[in-house]
Structure 1
């Protein structure tokens, strides 16, 4: 028996446990894996816990991440906090096989010239002037649209259609349409204009905010820099952790959850239950009775997932590249990477790795459906060995001109996300990633569902960011904790939840648009779409 049973020890589950434990609740966390952290966790590449760490992919903290950073600031670590393990990046390399590579500064500019240089890759460099003007008009449309229009109109239009990508230059499509896909789990063709546009704006605002680093990464593998200190801190607060303890189902009497049945058939009773399992697992817990009681639970299975998985290459020599991300513009598998060693200043790499590893290149592949350049197969149709070989070749194709920076002699070993399991036809992904799609907002349930003692805490919960990320999972965990507090009559210490910030200068325009929306009038900027887009949409209405 426990006050609160948290099912799932990822970011959402740990956040809910944290917020409830500091407010005096007895919390038990049940996790199916041997480590906590969910998709953010790191894991030894060998049986030795002190071995090199591998991950599902590198961690990335843009400036608009407020919830997760606030939590990190409240986790003790040595003489400081876990937030001290965040390191600002300085530049992103946009590598190309067909033209010159470019460097986009991510440091906060301190001069007017610096601001212009920082923004030029996002807007003007190599883009036709009419495309730049059109993009600015589209962004102003978003910034002046009221929330009702965003939710009820722009969520039903793809970002690809909203920015009229098919009728713009190839440079525009390459530079703007895929900007968010390079670093976050958004697909421009299927993601909604509401969500992709909002996140695109947040990334730009982060670059303009002189008070916060544009983006940050961790100074060690995720578990060492964050998750393990977090678990230790929660244990001091009385949280009971149960790793290697998968749950099977929720017992429901028609009004409330009466228990959770574990895989070993043991049953756990609690006053409150927080379901914090991934989106692909959650529908297994939604029985017909639960679906009838809370129809929003039945819509979780309509949410879509995609593959966005990582591989780490361990190198005999550290290859720094840029002090930040690398985006491989022409890679068929939409690769991005970070050369980790320059950031892992507190991590003793040499004593852990085989053959005195000196460098770690952490790479994420976001496109698993386009044929590669070696085996001419999409990633999902390759073996694990072929995936590693293909990604290595795509990296070399981008990085070895004009100077050879990656050679086969440098490669000591590699670690591919273990959730990619080989089958007869390639690999299956046992840990896919939730992606935003047109109209998906209505399928995202709130943290507080219509079951009196059940809440949800995972990145598929409806949050301000509406994005599969650590930030959304953390916000969901906070919302779940607030729902529990409300039900238990604890109203004097709610968990803080932040709205996404946009410049106050646009507030009067949003108010005007709210009136237009209520009157059934279109947004004034709707007519800036191309003739083809306007004709197509008018044709649908007719």
Structure 2
């Protein structure tokens, strides 16, 4: 959805003692909004349909054991989440979390785990290069492709079709990327967010990568919680909110939202089944996208004139959105399993895209963990589970885990007493009601801001489907959108009554490298990336003579041309970042001069090519010609760009020269 239009200020009127705010949804987005608004004197009521708070950060207690909905990694760059955890709740991060420098990968049949580290220092870059995940040249290409995407100057105009490109499309457009590198990107996206690279919006993935691109830094990649989400985060946050006077209703469904006399009115169905209308001054809808759409559109038989979509029809476009559930099974064993490392482990090659983490090494203060191993197993591709029913699906996941980790007695079925698994403590959840938003290409143009729909002055949106700087479906994205909604509500209240209530709500500052630094890094490393790509292609050719993929026989010979074009476009973007005062006309003249020089060189190259049936020149001659072209084009681009930067007037137009094809 396009950015919200500015709201017109209504005439000032006497401010109510405490404006009443309804927050629909008790996940981390809604609770973050509730925290900031209650601290500024708003009367906040939270409605959560489930028995427990937290949404995708909740825990279900079964037989006295907390089972978290998802096994989260809390990235170090989650600035707003850490502000709430450390400053508002008063907890020390190092006490409640375990730092992680990367993730581990295990191939089928392998005995050694491979480490993929956060490439934030020279030493971790070297460790990645020699990790064995890919060949050394392809690891260079992989890390460079992440830098390339992070640096790419997307325009940000959601109405521009050319901006709507998926990650696969971006990688395909880069002349240096190999098939194996593209597969690793796809593996990362599918494992973490349950979506393939051919549907993931490249702009959204870029926003995520930019938060990891700070170099050098000594910070860990992420942190793992030393306990359940309920115990360590959600219960302390709920207690904090109640201390601030927030009213929290769990097991309470908001079945309808109407706009009556300019105010949001909720139909609330309590756990006893009795539904009653309640009016508020403001409302924040902090539910998943699907539930928000149902409230905005209404149900058959309800008055359509009182619905959000009647005031703002654009909200109906949110029906484009998709989500996915990641099934999870907690496996408690009767004994300690040897050889399972700490941290997140991806089982490469798993059809279900399995990942596993040993929480018994994190929840060390829990008495039930001292004599046993407890694994949390997630299937990012739940459609690949060949079973029906909770226990059958859970056992199918454990069966596939056993192929990678054959270090325990599996048994023959869920509940088998001869197995090493303590079935009474283990728990499977399909997570059909805790789905993750899919940041696909088709949704990018319709994603709302916190203050959409613009036509409504007192209804706001929050959730990881809303636009934020984090953008990908993460805990930080949810927290940010909750704070943005609270910020917009506070500003709307101030416009209505002429005075802001409390200190302005702000978001934590992010430590991100600027576009100029990223583009400069790309420009410096670009020759190495293309050289590594040629190295990888040559290595494949030598290892498998005649086995090149169709259409890639002359691939190494095209790399100089691709490198030259990439160099020019990157230099152009960097010039705009470093010298925004340069007139676009000057840069256009520079680009024109470079393009014309490139055409002349290509025509010269064409003149020396054999005709149909003529013998081909040796590869060395082709390489020499391409090398000459690349060098000349780069020199022409550099000269033209320097001239434009100095602001010299353009030279008189040269005599017209036809630039199309050379006649024989």
Q: For 1:241-260, what aligned pairs fall within 5 Å after superposition?
A: 241-253=248-260, 255-260=262-267
Match of 1:532 in 2: none
Distance in 2 (CA, whole Å) between partners of 1:211 and 1:328 is 27
1:306 aligned residue (318, 324, 335): 324
Distance in 2 (CA, whole Å) between partners of 1:155 and 1:346 is 49
Quick check: 1:7–1:273 contact (8 Å CA) kept in 2? yes
Match of 2:47 in 1: 30
Match of 2:467 in 1: 462
Distance in 1 (CA, whole Å) between partners of 2:192 and 2:377 is 11
Shift of the 272–84 alpha-carbon distance from structure 1 to 2, 3 Å rule, reads farther
Match of 2:199 in 1: 190
Q: Larger relative contact order (C-alpha < 8 A, sep ≥ 6)?
A: 1
Comparing 135-144 and 451-460, the one that deviates more: 135-144
1:92 aligns with 2:93: no
Shift of the 329–125 alpha-carbon distance from structure 1 to 2, 3 Å rule, reads closer
Q: For 1:339-358, what aligned pairs fall within 5 Å after superposition?
A: 339-349=358-368, 358=372
Distance in 1 (CA, whole Å) between partners of 2:429 and 2:133 is 40
1:148 aligns with 2:156: yes
Quick check: 1:139–1:197 contact (8 Å CA) kept in 2? no
Match of 2:486 in 1: 481
Per-residue CA distance 1:459-516 (angstroms, 9 max, x = gap): 1111112222211110010001101110121274222154572345237845627987
Deviation of the 1:105 alpha carbon: 5.5
Deviation of the 1:224 alpha carbon: 0.3
Distance in 1 (CA, whole Å) between partners of 2:102 and 2:189 is 16
Distance in 2 (CA, whole Å) between partners of 1:462 and 1:17 is 19
SS at match of 1:465: coil
Shift of the 318–59 alpha-carbon distance from structure 1 to 2, 3 Å rule, reads farther
Shift of the 55–19 alpha-carbon distance from structure 1 to 2, 3 Å rule, reads same
Quick check: 1:88–1:213 contact (8 Å CA) kept in 2? yes
Distance in 1 (CA, whole Å) between partners of 2:279 and 2:62 is 36
SS at match of 1:145: coil
Q: For 1:1-400, what aligned pairs fall within 5 Å after superposition?
A: 3-46=20-63, 51-76=64-89, 80-81=91-92, 84-97=95-108, 101-104=112-115, 106=117, 112-118=122-128, 120-121=130-131, 125-127=133-135, 129=137, 132-133=140-141, 136=144, 139-140=147-148, 142-148=150-156, 152=160, 155-164=163-172, 171-203=180-212, 205=213, 208=215, 210-253=217-260, 255-262=262-269, 264-287=274-297, 288=304, 289-319=307-337, 321-349=340-368, 358-370=372-384, 372=385, 377=386, 382-400=388-406
Distance in 1 (CA, whole Å) between partners of 2:344 and 2:422 is 22
Instruction: Give the alignment's Cα RMSD to 1 decimal.
Output: 3.5
Per-residue CA distance 1:290-332 (angstroms, 9 max, x = gap): 1132234222221111222321111122346222100011111
Distance in 1 (CA, whole Å) between partners of 2:287 and 2:36 is 18
Unaligned runs of 5+ residues in structure 2 are: 1-17, 298-303, 412-418, 495-499, 521-572, 599-664
Quick check: 2:21–2:283 contact (8 Å CA) kept in 1? yes
Structure 1 or 2: more helix by fraction: 2
SS at match of 1:443: coil
Quick check: 2:323–2:436 contact (8 Å CA) kept in 1? yes
Distance in 1 (CA, whole Å) between partners of 2:58 and 2:228 is 9
Distance in 1 (CA, whole Å) between partners of 2:111 and 2:173 is 23
Match of 2:440 in 1: 437
Deviation of the 1:164 alpha carbon: 2.4
Distance in 1 (CA, whole Å) between partners of 2:408 and 2:100 is 21
Distance in 1 (CA, whole Å) between partners of 2:145 and 2:182 is 16
* Bigger Cα Rg: 2
Distance in 2 (CA, whole Å) between partners of 1:460 and 1:108 is 29
Shift of the 131–161 alpha-carbon distance from structure 1 to 2, 3 Å rule, reads farther
Q: TM-score scaled by structure 1?
A: 0.80
SS at match of 1:17: helix
SS at match of 1:412: coil
Per-residue CA distance 1:349-401 (angstroms, 9 max, x = gap): 35xxxxx872210111111233x5xxxx3xxx52212211111111111123x
Shift of the 436–511 alpha-carbon distance from structure 1 to 2, 3 Å rule, reads farther
Unaligned runs of 5+ residues in structure 1 are: 351-355, 421-428, 528-542
SS at match of 1:472: helix
Deviation of the 1:445 alpha carbon: 1.0
Q: TM-score scaled by structure 2?
A: 0.66
Quick check: 1:35–1:41 contact (8 Å CA) kept in 2? yes
